[in-house]
Chains A and B, each alone.
Chain A
Amino acid sequence: MRRTRQRGGDAELIVRSCREPVLFEPVFEHHFAAVYRYLRRRVGDASAEELAAETFLQAFANRERYRPHSSQSALPWLFGIATNLMLEQIRRQERQKRAYDRASQAELPAEDDEAGDRLIAGEEARRIAAVICVLPETQRETLLLHAWADLTSEEIGEALAIPAATARSRLSRARAAVAAALLEDVATTDAVEEEK
């Protein structure tokens, strides 16, 4: 199911962009769509626009700290920045919500609910979304970077600054949780069918 994507050459461009900043532009052109689409799936149009722009601004500001990994692609690094920005935004929104909604009764939309609502590709998709929403944060980010952003375990490791083995084990735990939930649903459906 993995899609092909133009990669490579980023490391050299980023290193050279420290002296010639304009060389960062191709990095933006190569990767903007992937980062934006991932964020769009996670947080919706308005936030995705803001977060995607900020991801590239931060990447540019921190380009001297970029350390190329085996893939030589900047994409895992960019997804790492995007993920952090997204989590920080959610954290800010949740703090604000917790502090104020007691008095105002106003409900800010939670990221998980929105993500769940956007998953409208059928009943199974909804079931999978429900499981993903209740996964621990670290497992959820790992699974979604794999399933929605096509990153390998090594790349997820780069993105989240964790060893690839940790990414693999989180992925495995997340998969197990999803599989268990799907099997449970099948069992329930079978039982209902039998009763009929």
Chain B
Amino acid sequence: MNENELDGRIVAARPSVPEGDRTEDAAHSRAESLLRAEIARAGERLSPRLARRRRLVLRGALAFAVTAAAVLIGLDLGLSDNGSKGGPGPAAASTLKQFANLVAGAPVRPLQAGQYYYVRTVSGSGLSALKTSNGGYSNAAAEEIWIGSDGSGRVLAPGGVDERYSPEKPIPLLRFQGVALDYEGLLALPGEPKALLRWLERQTRGDGPEAQDMQLGMIAELLGRAPAPPKLRAALYRLIDGFSGLKAEGRVRDPLGRSGIGFKRHMGGCKLQPEATCDWEIILDQKTGGLLASRRFLSNGGPNWEATAESGVVDSLLARP
């Protein structure tokens, strides 16, 4: 069988899809309206008149910011560095240490019987979430999670999937194959960065070049979705602090439009994309030290992200903060 004949047979196996049918028209219209909205926004941003006005506003804002910077305490915002081999850049390191100190000082409040840690996450692709008129997102989906101290819980997933968990089948806190971490296990995680790294390495043994990407994903989930105690949260920041090539980005907007402090790390390879390079980013809340969002940027595609939209402790599986 020659190459052309084989190609012909493979092409013939291609599923036939109707061309120009109603489904395609509907998809086209929807994509077109979303794109046009983006084009209009970009046009506004580029409008010279608006740009001039923005420059004037910025000039005023800059004067204010210089004054405000002098009185900002707690976190060093003299960020944005180039990082370095063998450790994060000085600005990244000092700021992450400050975040670690900030969260370490938070009161320890383990969940009591009958209490649930509630978290609502939004995950999607693209640079940021695009809201639709009905309050949803066109490029993202929200998920709600209730985590009880005894392993019970609930996950309200996109598409109306409502999963319930009990102490007999505890709610998994990490969504990674073969990693069974419940609330009890979370409290037992080491509060010392090196020991924590060893635990992460054990979970990703056998994942080869993808292991580091998986570890960073787990760290983001522990920070963004799990009721991690302050000591663990601080250890996770100190662990990230120890990663080589971490860059501080300064103030950035998360996918939900909130302002935070960003840190980015470049990785040579990433899961499912062995040829692509990948930048991993976390955005932290300057006031609370909590994780606002994590993002992955692929070199040959766009970003995907998960943001922690809301969290708190509630008294039932039906309650929200």
Contacts and interface: CB of A to CB of B under 8 A. Distances in A.
B125 A88 contact: yes
Contact of A58 (B19, B39, B302): B302
Of the four ranges (under 10, 10 to 19, 20 to 34, 35 or more), the interface on chain B belongs to 35 or more
A37 B27 CA distance: 11
Interface in A60-98: 60-62, 80-81, 83-85, 87-89, 91-92, 95-96, 98
B15 interface: yes
Q: Tell me the interface secondary structure of chain A in the complex.
A: helix
A60 B38 contact: yes
Interface string B105-128: 000000000000000000101110
A124 B272 contact: no
B8 interface: yes
Given A100-B155, A104-B163, A147-B11, A57 B17 contact: no
A58 B301 contact: yes
B177 interface: yes
Interface band, chain A: 35 or more
Interface string B24-56: 101110111011101100110010000000000
Interface of A: 1, 19-22, 24-25, 28, 32-33, 36-37, 40-41, 45, 48-50, 52-54, 56-58, 60-62, 80-81, 83-85, 87-89, 91-92, 95-96, 98-100, 102-104, 106, 115, 118-121, 124-125, 128-129, 132, 137-138, 143, 146-148, 159-162, 166, 175, 178-179, 182-183
Interface of B: 1, 3, 6-17, 19-20, 23-24, 26-28, 30-32, 34-36, 38-39, 42-43, 46, 123, 125-127, 130, 138-139, 155, 157, 161, 163, 165, 169, 171-172, 174-177, 271-276, 298-302, 304
